[in-house]
Amino acid sequence: MDELILLKCGEIALKGLNRSSFEDALIKNARAALRPVGEFRFKKAQATVYAEPAGDCDMAEALRQLSKVFGISALCRARIAPKDFPRICEIARGYLADELSRAGTFKVEAKRADKKFHMTSPEICRELGGFLLSSFPHLKVDVNSPEITVVVEIRDFAAYIHTDQLTGAGGIPVGTGGRAALLLSGGIDSPVAGYMMAKRGVSLIGVHFASPPYTSERSLQKVRDLCTKLTPYCGRIPLFTVPFTRIQEQIRELCPEDLLTLIMRRFMMEIAERIALRQDCAALVTGESVGQVASQTLQALACTEAAVHRLPVLRPVS
């Protein structure tokens, strides 16, 4: 069966002269996401990327993997058809037979990107809808809340037949927005911050501060697990683990007790900046949120950020 996956670019389509570089990054990331599934050929046109399998593969799994790739606003499996209306009707009937047999109501939507096609969009909807009604007599037309929407897209390369699209991850492709160091504590806020930055195209490295025996191996493994969970969305995240025990003990021994947390955070920010600069990062990212805990007041955040001299500190969850 001549089937592929259509990837709608969404926000990328609003880019100017550099749009091609965003599309190329999207294809690179999509190819990496599909590597465990199989080999795919890619081409792009009209704010859409076409992912066509080079051989047998699990298309449902491919769709699941691509749904996690930033830069894709919507995606769907589609059947390729020649730009010949009788053939479009026949292929639509065969390709969608199972779904149409189970549905009670439907409607047809047509998108005629190729204006040279001899039928208008309303004509395609009317004629294909009538053909499907004659082929599946139990169906009724419901243009407001149909159980299934049959979509026909007439594009440059061919016609494409599919049903409702899946919502993609959105954003812009990872790697198009620079590189940043994400401070990972093991809580939920820092991975959420990393996810939000990756959605804006930023590739990440992770920095974690370990203080055994005050922090356990289980805590470090939790951070590794968080990086693994982020990887399908954010790409590969190199993790730098900083041994922090001696610094923490020195702070506890030499500094006032009510300032321990603040001073430790300043040291962490300064060390993270040094790592970030060596890894060609342009910013630090933290999961800090104003007022979430007592140590995250505006004054405290300003004090810890003052330890960073060369890079901006981004707090997307604040």
**CATH code (residue 142):** 3.30.2130.30
Which tops the pLDDT comparison, 291 or 236?
A: 236
Task: State residue 200's pLDDT score.
Answer: 96
CA-based nearest residue to 175, from 16, 25, 8? 25
Query: Could you tell me if residue 197 is inside a domain?
Result: yes
What percent of the chain is predicted at pLDDT more than 90? 83
Task: State residue 122's pLDDT score.
Answer: 95
Which residue, 167, 196, 211, sits at the end of a domain? Answer: 167
Region 211-232: what's the mean pLDDT? Answer: 91
- In degrees to the nearest 10, what's the CA dihedral of 297, 298, 299, 303? 100
Q: For residues 137 and 276, state if they share a domain.
A: no
Q: For residues 198 and 80, state if they share a domain.
A: no
Instruction: Please check the confidence at residue 234 and state whether its pLDDT lies above 90.
Output: yes
Q: Which domain holds residue 237?
A: 179-314
The pTM assigned to this predicted structure is: 0.89
Q: For residues 11 and 136, state if they share a domain.
A: yes
Q: For residues 141 and 242, state if they share a domain.
A: no
Confidence of residue 292 (pLDDT cuts 50, 70, 90): confident
Q: For residues 255 and 148, state if they share a domain.
A: no
Task: State residue 315's pLDDT score.
Answer: 95
Instruction: Please check the confidence at residue 56 and state whether its pLDDT lies above 90.
Output: no
C-alpha dihedral sign at 154, 155, 156, 159: negative
Half-sphere exposure of 220 (CA within 13 A, CB side): 15
Q: What's the CA gap between 219 and 212, in Å, rounded?
A: 10
Note the pLDDT tens digit of each residue in 162-187: 998 999 999 999 999 999 999 998 88
Query: Could you tell me if residue 257 is inside a domain?
Result: yes
Q: For residues 187 and 309, state if they share a domain.
A: yes
Q: For residues 113 and 156, state if they share a domain.
A: yes
Q: For residues 118 and 153, state if they share a domain.
A: yes
Which residue, 143, 167, 191, sits at the end of a domain? Answer: 167
Region 147-174: what's the mean pLDDT? Answer: 94
Quote the distance between the C-alpha of residue 167 and its chain's center: 10
- List beta partners, residue 166: 75
Average pLDDT, the chain: 93
Task: State residue 1's pLDDT score.
Answer: 55
Query: Could you tell me if residue 102 is inside a domain?
Result: yes
CA-based nearest residue to 169, from 9, 316, 6? 9
Which tokens is 147 given?
Answer: 């159980």
Q: For residues 114 and 205, state if they share a domain.
A: no
Query: Could you tell me if residue 292 is inside a domain?
Result: yes
Q: For residues 126 and 265, state if they share a domain.
A: no
Query: Could you tell me if residue 173 is inside a domain?
Result: no
Query: Could you tell me if residue 211 is inside a domain?
Result: yes
Task: State residue 214's pLDDT score.
Answer: 84
Q: For residues 159 and 269, state if they share a domain.
A: no
Which residue, 135, 167, 199, sits at the end of a domain? Answer: 167
- Report the number of distinct structural domains present in the chain: 2
Query: Could you tell me if residue 29 is inside a domain?
Result: yes
Instruction: Please check the confidence at residue 24 and state whether its pLDDT lies above 80.
Output: yes
CATH number at residue 201: 3.40.50.620
Which tokens is 40 given?
Answer: 């795919």
CA-based nearest residue to 85, from 46, 34, 55, 120? 120
Query: Could you tell me if residue 230 is inside a domain?
Result: yes
Q: For residues 159 and 232, state if they share a domain.
A: no
